Amino acid sequence: MLSNHSVKSIESSIAYINTTMSTCDKDSKKREFFLNDLRKLHSQLKEAKSRVIIGFDKKDNAKVYITTSPYNGYLAIYVEEKPSGWYAERFNIEAGKTREVVYDGVQGWFGNLEFTVTFKTAQ
């Protein structure tokens, strides 16, 4: 299950749910709901810790990573905590290169990605 959240953000959510769950009765529906959320979060945490980091956003140091898109199986580039997901083959991923991207054009939300590795995709 692909999540765009950072490891820190996911760990914070897990801590919050564990604290909240400690106030629930052991047999309550609410506790069951929290347990399901915890399973999802632990799966997301495992995925987040195994990401292939290829750079960062120069504006806030958010990590840039590459993975297979859950929608179509192509390699895609994502930025943690940002609305992102671009086909990797459209990028020239070389160490030291930068690329301006649009997170949300309506809001005027742009990023400036800097790659720290060279990554070639089969085109």
Burial of 54 (0-12, 13-18, 19+ CB in 10 A): buried
DSSP H or E stretch at residue 120: none
- Indicate whether 120 belongs to any domain: no
At 70, the pLDDT band (50, 70, 90 cuts) reads confident
Q: Do residues 81 and 59 share a domain?
A: yes
Residue with the bigger pLDDT between 108 and 112: it is: 112
The predicted structure's pLDDT at residue 123: 52
Segments forming the whole domain that contains residue 25: 7-49
CA distance 79 to 95: 17
Does the pLDDT of residue 121 top 70, yes or no?
A: no
Helices (H), 4-99: 7-21, 29-49
Q: Do residues 41 and 85 share a domain?
A: no
Helix (H, G, I), strand (E, B) or coil at 48: helix
**Number of independent structural domains in the chain:** 2
What are the pLDDT digits (tens) for 1-50? Answer: 568 899 999 999 999 999 988 888 887 888 889 999 999 999 999 999 99
Is pTM beyond 0.75? Reply is: yes
